[in-house]
């Protein structure tokens, strides 16, 4: 399983949060801080035979591993299989006219040359069976099927010239995709550009798949993929051990080379995964209402996580667990004292797409081994 590096929707939001805190002082998330999210289901029934089969399939795609620190060994999570399971290639029915997240109506006349500007959107297009139509990739599209495609985004930046040089018939983006000048330049060139809402919770995975499929003129494939994905997520949720003593989990977004150290709060995306895996998001529980907040010793002590969740490359960027424990406040938390760290691949953790069930299974397995 290879570790990946890239910039997901959440990574772009995290970077923006740091820039805001430096330049303008703290500001709220783009999503309402008090947005209500569906609570994890209680009184989970026994796992059915069908759910067990789904879990066995997910287990084959994931695994577990260990992270070794200077003072001991902590159980962690190996990254889920960095591959996708495409449906049979569908036949698109075009044109379609759909509403973009920025309010514009976008007509898709051809999906012969698709450029998704995020790894999460690439994952959905490929899994719908339309990977052969994709002509470029974002740096966060890390799965092997996309490996040979030209790269047209890096970090937070889209290259309008790079996109247009590929003569796309459709460009897919998210509200945080930028810079805004590049998005405007692509549209001014007459290329259909559809902005799809980003997903930051399990409940948003299915609608996101449906929206992409509708735009591409493959609603039947969209229904099939949505059903498969939601069934797999439900199977994992039904397998979570029922326990009154739920571990507190803090999601830390780390980029040591850029001196970026953030703790996730409400709306980070990790909060939804942690709750579904049978944990308590320590940032949310400690009162953090923004999606990301710069880490301070006081914030970590108040959060008091039993487990720390990170992205694989983020952990590597601070020097592994020994380096993580040097981040102010980490060593004083229960997680730091017990070296409890779970690291999951950057390119899958917060994509909220067809592979999210595997991510959730990996997190659930590792969390309840370490709790």
Please report the pLDDT score of residue 304 as a whole number. Answer: 97
Q: Name, of 34-43, 71-80, 120-129, 152-161, the range with top average pLDDT.
A: 120-129
Q: Is the pLDDT of residue 201 over 90?
A: yes
Residue 205 near residue 230 (C-beta atoms within 8 A): yes
Residue 250 near residue 309 (C-beta atoms within 8 A): yes
Global pTM reads 0.80
* DSSP 3-state of 172: strand
Q: How far apart are CA 306 and CA 341, in angstroms?
A: 9
Domains of the chain plus CATH, in order, are 9-83+236-370 (3.40.50.1980), 96-230 (3.40.50.1980)
Residue 205 near residue 352 (C-beta atoms within 8 A): yes
Strand runs labelled E in 78-160: 96-99, 105-108, 114-116, 153-154, 157-158
For the CA atoms of the chain, what is the radius of gyration?
20
pLDDT in tens, 73-114: 344 444 345 689 999 999 999 999 999 999 999 999 999 999
List beta partners, residue 98.
106
| Percent helix, percent strand, percent coil in the chain, to nearest 5 | 40, 15, 45
Q: Is the omega angle on the peptide bond into residue 95 within 30 degrees of 0, that is, cis?
A: yes
Q: Cα torsion at 68, 70, 74, 78 (round to 10°)? A: -30
> Measured between alpha carbons, how far is residue 186 from residues 106, 170, 171, 213, 217 in Å?
13, 10, 9, 22, 22
Q: What percent of the chain shows pLDDT beyond 70?
A: 77
Please report the pLDDT score of residue 49 as a whole number. Answer: 42
């Amino acid at each position: 399983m290879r570790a990946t590096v890239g910039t997901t929707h959440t990574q772009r939001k995290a970077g923006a949060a740091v820039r805001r805190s430096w330049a303008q002082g703290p500001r709220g998330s783009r999503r309402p801080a008090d947005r209500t999210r569906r609570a994890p289901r209680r009184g989970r029934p026994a796992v059915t035979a069908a759910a067990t089969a789904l879990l066995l399939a997910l287990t084959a795609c994931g695994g577990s591993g260990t992270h070794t620190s200077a003072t001991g060994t902590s159980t962690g999570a190996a990254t889920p299989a960095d591959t996708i399971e495409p449906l049979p290639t569908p036949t698109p029915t075009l044109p379609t006219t759909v509403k973009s997240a920025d309010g514009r109506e976008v007509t898709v006349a051809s999906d012969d040359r698709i450029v998704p500007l995020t790894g999460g959107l690439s994952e959905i297009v490929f899994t719908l069976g339309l990977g052969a139509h994709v002509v470029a990739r974002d740096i966060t599209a890390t799965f092997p099927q996309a490996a040979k495609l030209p790269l047209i985004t890096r970090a937070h930046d889209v290259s309008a010239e790079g996109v247009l040089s590929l003569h796309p018939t459709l460009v897919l983006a998210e509200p945080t995709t930028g810079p805004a000048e590049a998005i405007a330049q692509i549209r001014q060139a007459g290329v259909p550009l559809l902005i799809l809402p980003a997903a930051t919770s399990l409940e948003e995975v299915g609608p996101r798949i449906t929206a992409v499929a509708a735009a591409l003129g493959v609603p039947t494939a969209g229904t099939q993929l949505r059903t498969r994905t939601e069934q797999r997520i439900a199977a994992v949720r039904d397998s979570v051990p029922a326990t009154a003593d739920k571990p507190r989990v803090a999601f830390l977004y780390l980029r040591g080379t850029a001196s970026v150290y953030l703790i996730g709060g409400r709306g980070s995306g990790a909060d939804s995964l942690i709750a579904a895996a049978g944990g308590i998001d320590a940032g949310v529980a400690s009162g953090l209402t923004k999606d990301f907040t710069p880490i301070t010793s006081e914030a970590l002590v108040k959060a008091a996580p039993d487990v720390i969740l990170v992205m694989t490359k983020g952990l590597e960027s601070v020097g592994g667990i020994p380096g993580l424990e040097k981040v102010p406040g980490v060593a004083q938390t229960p997680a730091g004292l017990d070296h409890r760290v779970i690291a999951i691949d950057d390119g899958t953790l917060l994509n909220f797409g067809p592979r999210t069930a595997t991510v959730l299974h990996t997190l659930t397995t590792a969390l309840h081994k370490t709790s």
